[in-house]
Amino acid sequence: MDINDLLRKTVENDASDLHICAGVPPIIRVYGDLINLNEPVLTPHDCVQLAKQCLSSRMYERFLEVGEVDASYSVPGVARFRVNVFKQRGTCAIAFRAIPTEVPSIEQLGLPGLVYDLAMKQRGLVLITGPTGHGKSTTLAAMINYINSKRRCHIVTIEDPIEYLHRHNKSIINQREIGSDTKSYANALRAVLREDPDVILIGEMRDQETIATALTAAETGHLVLSTLHTVGAAKTIDRIIDVFPPHQQSQVRVQLSTVLMGIISQQLIKRANGKGRVLATETMVWTPAISNLIRESRTPQINTCIQTGSQFGMYTMDSCLAELYKAGEIDYESACQYSVDMDNLRKLISN
């Protein structure tokens, strides 16, 4: 069995992911649903051979040593893929995520116009949040692509692994991969401030050290773009602050209240007609009122600011879901499934 053939079929079926696991055929994810490819059931030996085809010998040795490894893999003329090879029940399994060769534009992704403004900020922290597999990395790539087309600046990305490949345009772009170009996010972030960056992309704010360095970088005059696995602005802010010990939290609130330029939360939801997925978003931007709420530890009231902040381009996830339902883009069950406050969603739908 050839991994390139399987990945080609993944792209041909418009799938986002390919799963390789012993005891079942190769399985792809199409618009959120798992579907078997018309292939033989995989044996443990098949899985090992497929892993060896997509990993270098050094990466395969690391997989044997630690039990999992992240990598990227390209099929010329087809696509790039984010790869995670891991052990399960003593056998090898692989998850591939398809990454298109061309970076989609902000408009093509259906993102709100506010994203253009956030991408052009000279300094501060901009966060893209949402569940795993809902397009956060693609949104970041589209923002980097937009900056690259508009500004003459130095962009440094720190990713695990590198997903979209960017070409130099008006900006110069240096992309660093965890594992091959640097040992860890922490090491890369300590070094990045000495690399004369204007824009820093951090693939994911994973821990206290990463978040602290990102806040410092945003505070010292850089534009920092990153992601978190949260839905909603208020939950995102609480998540950042809760990472720190209690004695540091008031200081972090003050920092965050000054550097946080905006949060875009996003979820991909299956269309009502079953053909593809549609993007639902929530937007929050810095205002004096929101800054005060963060500093004074009144984050639950941020949702009210978002609801009343339409003149700044803000709106809640539930209002977006209600609009998508009324437009016939998604069904009622999906709207309820992805809502932040179901009672509020029902009120918005009935209005």
Give the DSSP H or E segment for 97: strand 91-99
Are 32 and 137 within one domain? no
Distance CA 100, CA 79 (A): 5
Are 205 and 264 within one domain? yes
* pLDDT tens sequence for the chain (351 residues): 899 999 999 999 999 999 999 999 999 999 889 999 999 999 999 999 999 999 999 999 999 999 999 999 999 989 999 999 999 999 999 999 999 888 999 999 999 999 999 999 999 999 999 998 899 999 999 999 999 999 999 999 999 889 899 999 999 999 999 888 999 888 999 899 999 999 999 999 989 999 999 999 999 999 999 999 999 999 999 999 999 999 999 999 999 999 999 999 999 999 999 888 999 999 999 999 999 999 999 999 999 999 999 999 999 999 999 999 999 999 999 999 999 999 999 999 998
Domain containing residue 21: 3-99
Are 80 and 211 within one domain? no
Are 95 and 110 within one domain? no
Distance CA 286, CA 295 (A): 12
DSSP letter, residue 317? H
Distance CA 45, CA 347 (A): 55
Are 253 and 189 within one domain? yes
Domain count along the chain: 2
Q: What is the pTM of this model?
A: 0.89
Are 270 and 180 within one domain? yes
* Assigned domain for 82 exists: yes
Are 89 and 180 within one domain? no
pLDDT at res. 81: 95
Distance CA 198, CA 22 (A): 46
- We report the CATH number of the domain holding residue 68 as 3.30.450.90
